[in-house]
Structure 1
Amino acid sequence: MTARCKVTANYLDVAPELHRYFASVFLIEIDVPDGGMVEDFMFPDWATMRFNAQGVVGGTTRSGEALPGSRFVVSGARSQEAYVRTGSVRQWGVLIHPLGWALLVGKPARDYANRLVDGMADPAFERFRPLADTLSSGVPDARGELCRITQFFMGLEPIDDPAAGTIAAAYEAIRDPEVSSVEDLAGRAGVTRRTLERLCQRAFGFPPKLLLRRQRFLRSLAHFAADPSLKWIDALDPGYCDQAQFVRDFREFMGMTPSEYSHRSKPFVDAVLKERARYMVEEVGPRGGTRSLVA
């Protein structure tokens, strides 16, 4: 049985120099009384590195791939939900957009799509392990830890990727609600459709058509999270033809119906989505203007 827990989530700004790597940085603290455990799920998202003060965070993907527990959990780009189990934990995380993955990790994103891996064991993430050790030592100090994260990533030598400009252009285009077809996306990225297909598999983890559908779905989920008083029909992205189309996407990306999601116990995902919506919508970013609701 999932225990009750207290959750504090904070999404934080980072130095402008790190914007090419990160969509966001967050600190989540989960307090589970009496040594209990809580279970919840993660929604589809970009790749994420999570650094935990204790190695109690584990998870399972829809395919059944299990991660028993780790101090450094890496989730690849996801088009499916992933289930998480944890006790009390203090967790720093970085949400890495595709250009960040290309410049920091350099491995094909498709190889880690919809997967959870132990960053302390997978050789692809060896260069990040010193940060996992640093963040789990000493007295908790959010300001100081954010400074350490900033200094660590600013000190990394980026991997040379000749397609970096195209990856960045494709990422911005995918986030644009006006871009609704693979042809539009290829045009905005300045490449042929065939080149775009290869690039998206390598840097984004999925084919471009799936990426556009996933982003449309995530915009709807974010609208719902930002205003829980809405009904699903009121939160739908304009790109949806009707509610039935949205329900089909919901089943594909979340493994459940909207009704099942609404009635499901979500010990910490609700708090995380609410804070993320606040960060994306209410706060004015360091580059001016208002952040997009979906990173």
Structure 2
Amino acid sequence: MIRTSRPAVDPRVVPVFGTTREGQPLSYNRAPAPDLAPWLARLSVTRMRLAEGQTLACGLFADAAGIRIHLGGHAEVDTVHGVTHQERSAVFMGPQTKILPVRLSGDFVSVGVAYRPSACTPLLGPIMPQLVDRVTPALYWPEAQLLALFKASDHPEAQLQAIEGLFRERVAALRDIQPEPITARFEEIAFIDPAMSIAQAAREIGVDRRRLERLVVRDFGLPPKQVLRRARALDMASYLRGV
């Protein structure tokens, strides 16, 4: 479910999005506010009411690292370091090279923020290669501060505006530090033409190939070839899902 507009927030109406006919979770998701577009890729809220004893098994395969704030229900995520159990918590999900199996139960509510790869290093430092296929405690902000922003019953749009406010403060504190333009351009190439060779991508961007490879590994956490391979896999998955 894709929504790019910002509807008026009616606090009396709190939608539950549930699942598709195939049992996959639906979410309210949108692009960030224009001033945050260089920093954030997208924001989302997922809500489901699962019957007592019911577990929804699915998977997560994202093209961007980011924060997930769990406000209700229970989530189990299989990572390279074992199974993580998340209830009321805030976690950082690093870059992915493969699908991470997920199991959900209870009245599940989760707020998600995906970072633009070009913004990861300015926001967090050069740590993306250490976080591949990992789930860690939320980075930069204390978990209690993130959880205090919301109630599970808040309207989804209000929740997204609250997290945008927090990022707006963080970006203002960075002052003259900006997202990496070379990485930003490579992200565009991964969306537009993921079959492009690394040598051609370097020529398109106007940068030495070794510099491109170094910056992509730093900011995406993955080598350029793997980023493009993942983009092709996600394109094919979208096609197969009818997106």
Distance 2:202 2:24 in 1: 45
Confirm or deny: 8 A CA contact 1:5 1:33 kept in the other structure: no
Q: Tell me the equivalent position of 2:77.
A: 59
Partner AA of 2:120 in structure 1:
W
Runs of 4+ in 1 over 6 A off after TM superposition: none
What residue in structure 2 maps to residue 89 of structure 1?
108
Amino acid at match of 1:113: V
What corresponds to 2:17 in structure 1? none
Matches within 5 A, 1:170-181: 170-177=186-193, 180-181=196-197
- Aligned equivalents of 1:14, 1:41: Cα separation in 2: 24
What RMSD, in angstroms, separates the aligned Cα atoms of the two structures? Answer: 2.6
Normalized per residue, the structure richer in helix is 1
Q: Deviations over 1:230-267 (max 9, x none)?
A: xxxxxxxxxxxxxxxxxxxxxxxxxxxxxxxxxxxxxx
Alpha-carbon distance between aligned partners in 2 of 1:97 and 1:175, rounded to the nearest angstrom: 13
Q: How does 1:114-263 map to 2 (within 5 A)?
A: 114-119=133-138, 125-127=139-141, 129=143, 132-137=146-151, 139-156=153-170, 157-158=173-174, 164-177=180-193, 180-225=196-241, 227=242
- Aligned with residue 10 of structure 1, among 28, 38, 41: 28
Q: CA deviation at 1:36?
A: 3.5
| Superposition deviation, residue 175 in structure 1 | 2.0
Deviation at 1:127, TM superposition (A): 1.9
| Residue 38 in structure 1 maps to residue 56 in structure 2 | yes
| Cα distance in 2 between the residues matched to 1:179 and 1:75 | 26
Contact map agreement 1:49 1:75 (CA 8 A) in 2: yes
SS at match of 1:95: strand
Distance in 2 separating the partners of 1:130 and 1:99:
27
What is the CA distance between 1:16 and its match in structure 2? 0.2
Report the CA distance between 1:112 and its aligned residue. Answer: 0.6
CA contact (8 A) 1:110 1:206 kept: yes
| Aligned-pair CA distance for 1:92 | 0.9
Q: Separation in 1 of the partners of 2:146 and 2:196? A: 39
Q: How far 1:105 sits from its partner (Å)?
A: 1.7
Provide the rounded CA distance (Å) in 2 between the counterparts of 1:5 and 1:210. Answer: 30
**Residues of 2 paired with 1:7 and 1:214: CA distance?**
22
What amino acid sits opposite 1:68 in the alignment? Answer: H
Among 95, 100, 104, the residue aligned to 1:77 = 95
Using structure 2 for the length normalisation, give the TM-score: 0.79
Change (3 A) 1:221 1:30: same
Q: Which structure has more strand as a fraction of its residues?
A: 2
Change (3 A) 1:138 1:177: closer
- Which sits farther off after the overlay, 170-179 or 129-138? 129-138
- Which residue does the alignment assign to 2:44? 26
Contiguous gaps of at least 5 residues in structure 2? 1-21
> Offset at 1:126?
3.4
Q: Distance in 2 between matches of 1:140 and 1:102?
A: 31
Task: Give 1:130 shift.
Answer: 5.3
